[in-house]
Amino acid sequence: AVVLRHFALTYETVIFAALTDVVGQAPFRHMVTPGGFQMSAAMTSCGGFGWLADRTGYRYNTTDPQTGLPWPPLPDALLRLGIEAATAAGYPSFVPDACLINRYAVGAKMSLHQDKDEPDLGAPIVSVSLGLPANFQFGGLRREDKPLRVQLTHGDVVVWGGPARLYFHGVLPIKDGVHPLTGAFRINLTFRKVSK
Ligand code: SIN
Ligand code: FE2
């Protein structure tokens, strides 16, 4: 697992243009977990697959259930960012086919979890942080493993794969603040390879 500080900063303008386009087609929504809890982060996706949570479970789908349409395509600038960050972290053959977009308002969080809905665990996860800072937790293979706490700020990228691919991770509640580009939000993009 690698933290690439500020890696996404040079992509900032193209990222926000791409996000405006994606969110116009597939708006942010709060999903409900199988346990019946509404997730505090609002989500959407782009690429060939989008991630979904509902009362029946967690999965990827090629269409957005909210619109009935395919998820918006993965914008070329985002695809390049995902590939270049993975390459910089030592995963030169990574080609993402999905990007999950999380939007955290102040107080929103993500509990410790594993990213395990992707069939090909040989591909890493590439995570891009934008806007308000986050305290990211990065643990081990067992939920009980004491997580490291890493502060992630605008433009930081985290990549994890190989033996760390299934490590538990999460986000502590976002602290109050204002960022010049995102206002009172943190945005996180995770690039994933979902096809086998
Ligand atoms: C995730 O685990 O899907 C998101 C992590 C983050 O928001 O930094
Ligand atoms: Fe995750």
pTM value is 0.98
The domain locations on the chain are 2-192
Q: Which residue has the tokens 């597939």?
A: 26
Distance from C-alpha of 71 to C-alpha of 167, rounded to nearest angstrom? 28
Token pair recorded at residue 189: 């993009």
Token pair recorded at residue 31: 């999903």
Residues 82-90 have a mean pLDDT of: 98
Distance from C-alpha of 7 to C-alpha of 155, rounded to nearest angstrom? 6
169 lines ligand 1 (CB under 6 A): yes
136 lines ligand 1 (CB under 6 A): yes
For the CA atoms of 77, 81, 83, 84, what is the dihedral angle to 10 degrees? Answer: 130
| C-alpha 169 to ligand 2 mean position (Å) | 6
Domain 2-192 has CATH 3.30.2290.10: no
Residue pLDDT, tens place only, 97-118: 999 999 999 999 999 999 999 9
